[in-house]
């Protein structure tokens, strides 16, 4: 018993001097936790008041994307700011306080960059809602969307680089900066090789900026690239996605549209004019065909009511060439309209003027040379010229 009592005396004598320090730190910990909890609750209350009651009733009904994009980064900023205000209440050492403050500053910079990203996407959504690309006259909408697609990527890249630079700037270590400068200086040859390797990437980036302002192509433009008909579906910082007629995607580098010729059917307007040819005999009357073309065009909503022309454009040895011109609001309607009118006109000729369909007159071949006759016969029916008697 005496040994136990002596051990207790030794323990109490060793613990008693540090009890005030433990009590002091416990008091600071409780106080800091209370201040941090109060700051977080206050920041959440301000956030809820601003976003759930002010923005939801004023901006959200007309621009819901603003609330959707800004909600999470704004909440993160409120919580980080509240934590930065509450950290001094813990009474921690200067070294530990410096580390926490540095980490919170980095998080604040990253969260601010996140908020700027959200602002870029919100502006893009507002412009996309204002400029409807599905409208009939969508030239202005396609122009704005094309510029926004390129500018959004450039803005996101600039904000990202700025955020990385600010994060690095928080490291006030001269030795770190000296190492970085020395590394950059020693990488001179490597940078030249990298620049040569990245020539196509840089050219595509510059081509994207040029396309955004000069607008040789826009989103939803109808183009013919490498013999393929399609629509511009997406413009990135490196390539263009063309959705061709069979729903396959053609990936084309941006620089292609600066360095190579291509067809853009909707450069100035979505309205297009198309044609097709009818080859008929010389005995075919033109006026009934012209009246039938007008009747067919007026009977379909595919026609925009602007162009309706039928003319004899050329004469051949056996037939005459009749060209029909028509117009439509866009390329898809024009394709369907041409197919429809072509079918109706062929049907009209078959029913009313079957004798005017193209044919080969045998009277023209009676006195023709054998070579000319063979040109009009299938290969299995071609004959050798007769041999002279001698």
Question: Which domain CATH number covers 348?
Answer: 3.30.70.100
Q: How confident is the model at residue 85 (pLDDT cuts 50, 70, 90)?
A: confident
Q: Are residues 281 and 232 in the same domain?
A: no
Coil vs helix vs strand at 85: helix
CA distances (Å), origin 148, targets 4, 145, 235, 257: 81, 5, 10, 18
Assigned domain for 49 exists: yes
Assigned domain for 53 exists: yes
Q: Are residues 26 and 97 in the same domain?
A: yes
How confident is the model at residue 16, as a pLDDT?
47
| pLDDT cut 70: percent of the chain above it | 66
Flag whether pLDDT at 19 surpasses 50.
no
Whether 86 contacts 132, CB under 8 Å? no
Whether 135 contacts 141, CB under 8 Å? yes
> Which carries the bigger pLDDT value, residue 2 or residue 307?
307
CA distances (Å), origin 58, targets 120, 130, 241: 20, 18, 38
Strand partners, 252: 240
**Structural domain of residue 17, as residue ranges?**
2-130
DSSP string, 213-266: HH-SS-TT-EEEETTEEEEEEEE-SSEEEEEETTS-EEEEETTHHHHS--EETT
The pLDDT of 216-223, averaged and rounded, is: 84
Flag whether pLDDT at 236 surpasses 50.
yes
In 3D, which of 23, 28, 18 has the Cα closest to residue 92?
28
Whether 159 contacts 120, CB under 8 Å? yes
* CA Rg value for the chain: 39
Long-range contacts of 137-145 (CB under 8 A, 24+ apart): 137/269, 137/270, 138/220, 138/270, 139/218, 139/266, 139/268, 139/269, 139/270, 142/218, 142/219, 142/220, 142/221, 142/266, 143/215, 143/218, 145/218, 145/219, 145/220
How many whole angstroms separate alpha carbon 178 and alpha carbon 180?
5
In 3D, which of 310, 307, 304 has the Cα closest to residue 332?
304
Q: Are residues 230 and 321 in the same domain?
A: no
Task: Using the 3D structure, point to which of 235, 264, 293 is the last residue of a domain.
Answer: 264
Whether 253 contacts 212, CB under 8 Å? no
Look up residue 292 and give its DSSP letter. Answer: H
Coil vs helix vs strand at 365: coil
Q: What are phi and psi of 141, to 5 degrees?
A: -65, -40
Q: How confident is the model at residue 297 (pLDDT cuts 50, 70, 90)?
A: very high
Assigned domain for 154 exists: no
Question: Dihedral sign, CA of 72, 77, 78, 79?
Answer: positive
| pLDDT cut 90: percent of the chain above it | 11
How confident is the model at residue 11, as a pLDDT?
44
Q: pLDDT per residue over 24-81, tens digit each?
A: 456 566 666 766 777 777 777 777 777 776 666 666 556 667 777 777 888 888 788 7
The pLDDT of 205-216, averaged and rounded, is: 74
CA distances (Å), origin 77, targets 64, 74, 264: 21, 5, 47
Assigned domain for 51 exists: yes
Q: Are residues 222 and 320 in the same domain?
A: no
How many folded domains does the chain comprise?
3
Question: Dihedral sign, CA of 188, 194, 200, 203?
Answer: negative
């Amino acid at each position: 018993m005496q040994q136990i009592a002596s051990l207790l005396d030794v323990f109490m004598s060793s613990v008693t001097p540090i009890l005030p320090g433990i009590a002091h730190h416990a008091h600071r910990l409780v106080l800091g936790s209370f201040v941090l909890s109060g700051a977080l609750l206050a920041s959440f209350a301000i956030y809820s008041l601003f976003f759930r009651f002010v923005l939801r009733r004023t901006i959200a009904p007309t621009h819901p994307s603003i609330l959707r994009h800004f909600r999470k980064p704004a909440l993160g900023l409120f919580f980080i700011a509240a934590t930065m205000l509450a950290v001094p209440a813990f009474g921690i050492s200067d070294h530990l306080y410096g580390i926490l403050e540095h980490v919170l500053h980095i998080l604040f910079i990253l969260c601010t960059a996140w908020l700027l990203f959200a602002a870029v996407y919100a502006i893009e959504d507002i412009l996309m809602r204002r400029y409807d690309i599905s409208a009939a006259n969508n030239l202005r909408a396609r122009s704005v969307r094309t510029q926004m697609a390129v500018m959004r990527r450039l803005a996101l890249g600039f904000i990202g680089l700025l955020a990385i630079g600010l994060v690095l700037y928080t490291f006030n270590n001269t030795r770190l900066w000296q190492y970085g400068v020395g590394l950059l200086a020693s990488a001179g040859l490597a940078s030249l090789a990298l620049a040569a390797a990245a020539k196509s990437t840089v050219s595509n980036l510059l081509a994207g900026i040029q396309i955004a302002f000069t607008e040789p192509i826009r989103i939803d433009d109808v183009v013919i690239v490498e013999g393929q008909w399609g629509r511009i579906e997406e413009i990135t910082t490196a390539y263009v996605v063309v959705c061709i007629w069979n729903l396959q995607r053609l990936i084309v580098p941006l620089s292609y549209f600066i360095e190579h010729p291509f067809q853009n059917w909707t450069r100035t307007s979505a309205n297009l004019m198309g044609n097709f040819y009818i080859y008929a005999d010389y005995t075919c009357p033109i006026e009934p065909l012209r009246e039938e073309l007008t009747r067919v065009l007026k009977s379909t909503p595919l026609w925009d009511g602007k162009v309706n022309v039928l003319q004899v454009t050329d004469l051949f040895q056996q037939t005459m060439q009749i060209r029909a011109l028509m117009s439509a609001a866009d390329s898809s309607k024009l394709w369907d309209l041409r197919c429809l009118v072509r079918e109706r006109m062929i049907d009209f000729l078959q029913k009313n003027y079957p004798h005017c369909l193209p044919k080969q007159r045998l009277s023209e071949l009676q006195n023709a040379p054998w070579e000319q006759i063979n040109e009009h016969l299938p290969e299995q029916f071609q004959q050798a010229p007769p041999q002279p008697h001698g």
